[in-house]
Structure 1
Amino acid sequence: MAAAGSAVGLGNIWGFPTKAAGNGGAAFVVVYLILAFLLAYPALMAELTIGRHARRNMVQALQAISTGPISRLVGTLAGYSGIIVASLILSFYAIVAGWMVSHMAEPVSTMLGMTGASEWMTGGSTERNLIFTAIFSSLTMLIIMGGVEKGIERWSTLLMPSLLILLVLLIVYVLTQPGATKGLEAYLMPNFDHFNPQMLLAAMGQAFFSLSIGVGTMLIYGSYLSHQESLPRLGAVVTLVDLGIAFTAGLLIIPAMYVAQEAGTDIFAADGSLIAGPDLILQVLPALFETMGSVGLLVAFAFFTLMVVASLTSSISMLEVPVAFSIENLGLSRKVATILVGLAIFAMSSLIIFNFDTLFGLVISISTEWGQPLLGVVLCIFAGWIFNRNQLLTELKQGDPHIEDSLFWKIWPTYVKIVCPTLILMAFAQTIL
């Protein structure tokens, strides 16, 4: 549940519908689903397997399986790069999650008649962004201080099912509203005239971002796993849960866009591009909740509360990457490591907030569209070329004694060694050229 919680978060409910709406709707969905299975799942398995074998953070894990000075240097650089990329992701992620916290508080202030406070909470001021980013960052740090079982695992297990239930209930409501049918058509009826190399890169980046691949998150979660766990089965469950939540979120957000449009909210510009951009769900969903009358305030509070929860299950996994490194390599206590790393990342978030138009989109692109897939290539190479094949098989056998006879073992080692890195690099080449 913790691994699924890491995968399920704003990447599914904010990132996926926003990118789908801005990149051709159903065509993007098809490309995303294909790439999630062709590229993201094999890379996820590489992370989980290396992590459980090494029982260390990304830097030490890649160093441990290295076979010579060159592979050790590459592993060290990749490990540190993973920490940097995870920190970059969390720096913008905390800002978006802060928006969710402010929208969670807004219905309460509205019910109390505090109109001015409500308008400030849903505005885009620098002060609002700083305060709520700080609140969310503090919540993330508090959970990480609790460790794995008392912090990460407990919260993920309790809160993940609640999110899914509320999503389904909201979908049922949205699909009864005028305009929802157009949204379903846009989401479920592919038109590949919209296909282009940028869509390919966006879909690949979204798959890696959503599954938390390439930055050592899943490698660290793998290091916490029992040897009795079947890694291929667990990896498949995490991938399917992640894709299921993303697809379900799309069933809510995309039809809700067209419902809001039917009600008079401008969603698309004259050239067909999204007007809202990263603020999409913060414009569409409040407009939807307003159609529910007074009940809408309660639904808005419940929805954004669970959005904060979904954000936390992912942010704690990202913060765990640099924190685990600080504990294992620098000898810091969990509390001290969490505070120091958390404050450093908040400083990065503050820099983005003060230079929002310049840095926000740039940091997202560098970290998720480029950093994560390229680090995924390195992890695939380490799993396929550096990690001794017999050791790899021994590690996988611990959770499944008969895996040597399975279809997974007949395909995955060669696939992760050659096909997966080649496909990722081809996608980059196609985009660049």
Structure 2
Amino acid sequence: MATERGQFSSKIGFLLAAAGSAVGLGNIWGFPTQAASNGGAAFLLVYLILAFILAYPALMAELTIGRYARANVITALSELSPSPLLKRAGLAVGIGALTVAVFILSFYAIVAGWMLAEFISPAAQLLQLDGLARWVGSQSFSRNALMCGVMSALTIMIIARGVEQGIEAWSTRLMPALFLILLGMIGYVFTQAGALAGLRAYLVPDLTRLGDPALILSAMGQAFFSLSLGVGTMLIYGSYLRDTDNLPRLGAAVTLLDTGFAFTAGLLILPAIYVAQAQGISVFNTEGTLIAGPDLIFQVLPALFDNMGAAGSWLALAFFALMSIAALTSAISLLEVPVSVAVERCSMSRPTAALLSGGVIFMISLLIIWQFDALFNTVISLTTVYGQPLLGVALCVFAGWVLHRNQLLKELSNGHPEIESTFFWRVWPFYVKFICPSLILITFVQSVR
């Protein structure tokens, strides 16, 4: 290795960094939009179930492999077994995870740039910089490329500083700000006409929707995407944990933080949709489907803010500050995947690895912006709907079948000496070996037929 491996300095540092990875646009942009498009409370219920019966065991597989191997995703998976066949399989899965992480970040950086632009636009209006506000509000190649470049540069700068001074330090600053802004906006939206109808749609499920294959696939993809699973992010974060850290407890805490934040974000977005509808803004078509779909927060919410007069500009500023912070915390973790590979396998310095990896991903982002209609939704679908669940299966297989039971017990005993007598140990090794990959595959196959 070119440099000494970093390490999180505290449990709270890891939790905020891991939560920052999980709690991003997937929770505030993706989850509420998916919920609104897939039955509201029915989607919420399926998502919560899948988060704990599929995503948590898969998360534990990544954290355990990461701390056991103390290496990047490619090295970790390719060196779990001395078998040449398993080494090649691990190499292939590691490269697959790296590739998916790169392409997720390539579209994620574009969306992060949109968030930054939407933040700058009301700020420019408040400062009476009308020309800047109009340009930032446009959907031009130059606007999208510049905003994407700014968010990419911020991500590179943070990652270049390392684990403790970069990832951990910035996560502990950004996450509390994120939560406070979210709570403040929820309090305001709840005072508006129509919010109660949105709350009812979000919390009272239509049980007939629970078996909908499209809903189940969307909920599983959302659970894996929001927890950053299947791309090596949590594996590499696990490799930076201390031996004294209790992995099952930390994994449960991350899952609870992620699902709790997704639920809280829904308390903002779903009522806001119905507030917009109460103000005469078109939200749903005659079939009850969202008109805006994934563009919800760029169409419905700005229109809502415009209807609120002078307060609307401040609310737009606060909301898109929230979204920009959320985007940055997740982008940090995604960039760490290729950077850790470059540092450990190519003997690069961390700043060089961050600049090179971030630069390559930015070039891919520019290509997607240039050919947006052809590439954007395709990249999202291939990576989050298909790539992440299938890679999640592979990581469960490596944790359950390639790592021997004694190796798992020894690793999990670090930080949790009594693990062998717990319910977790009696269930999880068998579950991650047989049940979890089977459930993911069955759900996946049933949903894509």
Q: TM-score, normalised by structure 2?
A: 0.94
1:265 is displaced (CA, Å) by 1.3
1:361 is displaced (CA, Å) by 1.1
1:67 is displaced (CA, Å) by 4.1
Root mean square deviation, CA, Å: 1.3
2:246, 2:412 within 8 Å by CA — same for their partners in 1? yes
1:25, 1:187 within 8 Å by CA — same for their partners in 2? yes
| Matched letter for residue 159 of structure 1 | L
| Matched letter for residue 219 of structure 2 | A
Paired position in structure 1 for 2:58:
43
Paired position in structure 1 for 2:348:
332
1:94, 1:137 within 8 Å by CA — same for their partners in 2? yes
Paired position in structure 2 for 1:19:
34
> CA separation in 2, counterparts of 1:114 and 1:25?
39
1:299 is displaced (CA, Å) by 3.1
| Matched letter for residue 106 of structure 1 | S
> CA separation in 1, counterparts of 2:273 and 2:43?
17
> CA separation in 2, counterparts of 1:97 and 1:110?
21
Is 2:202 aligned against 1:193? no
Paired position in structure 2 for 1:94:
109
1:43, 1:213 within 8 Å by CA — same for their partners in 2? yes
Q: How many residues align?
A: 433
Is 2:189 aligned against 1:174? yes
1:67, 1:386 within 8 Å by CA — same for their partners in 2? no
1:200 is displaced (CA, Å) by 1.0
| Matched letter for residue 74 of structure 1 | A
Is 2:268 aligned against 1:260? no
| Matched letter for residue 399 of structure 1 | G
> CA separation in 2, counterparts of 1:285 and 1:161?
23
| Matched letter for residue 190 of structure 1 | P
Of 65, 71, 81, the residue aligned with 2:86 is 71
Q: Percent identity?
A: 58
Residue range with higher mean Cα deviation, 59-68 or 393-402: 59-68
CA-to-aligned-CA distance 1:285-334 (integer Å, 9 cap, x gap): 32343354323323322332232111111101000000100111111111
| Matched letter for residue 3 of structure 1 | A
Paired position in structure 2 for 1:385:
401
Q: How does 1:189-228 map to 2 (within 5 A)?
A: 189-195=204-210, 196-228=212-244
2:281, 2:304 within 8 Å by CA — same for their partners in 1? no
Q: TM-score, normalised by structure 1?
A: 0.97
Q: SS at 2:79's partner residue?
A: helix
Unmatched segments (≥5 aa) in structure 1: none
| Matched letter for residue 356 of structure 2 | L
> CA separation in 2, counterparts of 1:303 and 1:149?
28
Q: SS at 2:415's partner residue?
A: coil
Paired position in structure 1 for 2:3:
none
Paired position in structure 1 for 2:414:
398
Paired position in structure 2 for 1:360:
376
> CA separation in 2, counterparts of 1:425 and 1:25?
25
Residue range with higher mean Cα deviation, 288-297 or 89-98: 288-297
1:276 is displaced (CA, Å) by 1.2
1:432 is displaced (CA, Å) by 3.0
1:201, 1:369 within 8 Å by CA — same for their partners in 2? yes
> CA separation in 2, counterparts of 1:295 and 1:141?
34
Unmatched segments (≥5 aa) in structure 2: 1-15
1:393 is displaced (CA, Å) by 0.5
1:273 is displaced (CA, Å) by 2.0
Paired position in structure 1 for 2:315:
299
Is 2:247 aligned against 1:238? no
CA-to-aligned-CA distance 1:203-245 (integer Å, 9 cap, x gap): 1011000000111000000010011110000001100000011
> CA separation in 2, counterparts of 1:328 and 1:431?
38
Paired position in structure 2 for 1:317:
333
1:21 is displaced (CA, Å) by 1.1
2:182, 2:322 within 8 Å by CA — same for their partners in 1? no
Paired position in structure 2 for 1:148:
163
> CA separation in 2, counterparts of 1:273 and 1:179?
18
> CA separation in 1, counterparts of 2:189 and 2:206?
23
| Matched letter for residue 190 of structure 2 | L
1:176 is displaced (CA, Å) by 1.5
Paired position in structure 1 for 2:11:
none
> CA separation in 1, counterparts of 2:138 and 2:293?
15
Change (3 A) 1:306 1:432: closer
> CA separation in 2, counterparts of 1:231 and 1:295?
45
